[in-house]
Amino acid sequence: MKFTNYLRGALATMVLVSTLPSCSQAQPSHNTQMNTHMDSVSYALGVLFANNMKSEGMTEINSEALASGFSAVMTDNATMDQEEADGIVRTAMTAMKEKASEAAKEEGETFLAENAKKDGISVTDSGLQYHHDTEGTGKSPDANDKVTVHYQGTLLDGTEFDSSYKRGEPISFPLNGVIPGWTEGLQLMKIGGKTTFYIPQDLAYGARPNPGGPIPPYAALIFVVELLEVEVID
């Protein structure tokens, strides 16, 4: 990530110079006075910049050093040039993402290991876990078939990231065009059935979920799926 991506947000530190004097203070002061339009603009930039950093996992920020760096650039007294700053930020971001990825992998492995011990949970050779909430009575799809389903997807903490129920209509797709956990799992269902799948990260999106989306890298996922229709594709 280029440091230049932060330039617009870095303008916000003009207000942090006076309101965040300590590295232990991560939130803006509630006593900041908004006497001019630029005061409001500066504060708003501070909010945007802080939210951007939080979304990138940069929550342990030395706000005093942050304000000092901004002030130094504005007065042409910076002791660090653009290239060096970019390298430091890029290295820090890489380390944070690697740490978060390892934590996500460990969380998924721990959850799945415990979940596999529960009554009614079946585990396939690939590691996919599932429970038939309602047994279907119709046809089971093959990998090349087209299916129509209703579904809800959540992270392990229960955060919902997608739901056809909320959109008010099911979705249809070729079964071989989705994540491996779905391709394998839906072949274990029959039309009319409802199944909860617990999908390891390597059968889900792994290291490459949709950029900027709600699913973090290496996240194990939970899907509740209703199989409504199967269209045989020759």
Identify any residues that bridge with 160 across adjacent strands, giving them in sequence order: 154
Domains annotated for the chain, with CATH where assigned, are 3-79 (no CATH), 117-231 (3.10.50.40)
pLDDT at 189: 98
Assess whether 205 carries a catalytic annotation: yes
In order of 108, 132, 145, 155, the CA distances from 173 in angstroms are 27, 21, 9, 22
Distance CA 179, CA 218 (A): 13
Catalytic-role residue among 162, 165, 191, 202: 162
Assess whether 198 carries a catalytic annotation: no
Assess whether 130 carries a catalytic annotation: no
pLDDT tens-digit profile of 178-197?
999 999 999 999 999 999 99
pLDDT tens-digit profile of 192-220?
999 999 999 999 999 999 888 899 999 99
Assess whether 49 carries a catalytic annotation: no
Closest CA to 77 of 87, 68, 86: 68
Higher pLDDT, 19 or 125: 125
DSSP string, 115-166: HTTSTT-EE-TTS-EEEEEE---SPPPPTTSEEEEEEEEE-TTS-EEEEHHH
Catalytic-role residue among 3, 86, 142, 161: 161
Catalytic-role residue among 151, 197, 198, 218: 151
Assess whether 197 carries a catalytic annotation: no
pLDDT tens-digit profile of 118-161?
999 999 999 999 999 999 999 999 999 999 999 999 999 999 99
Assess whether 162 carries a catalytic annotation: yes
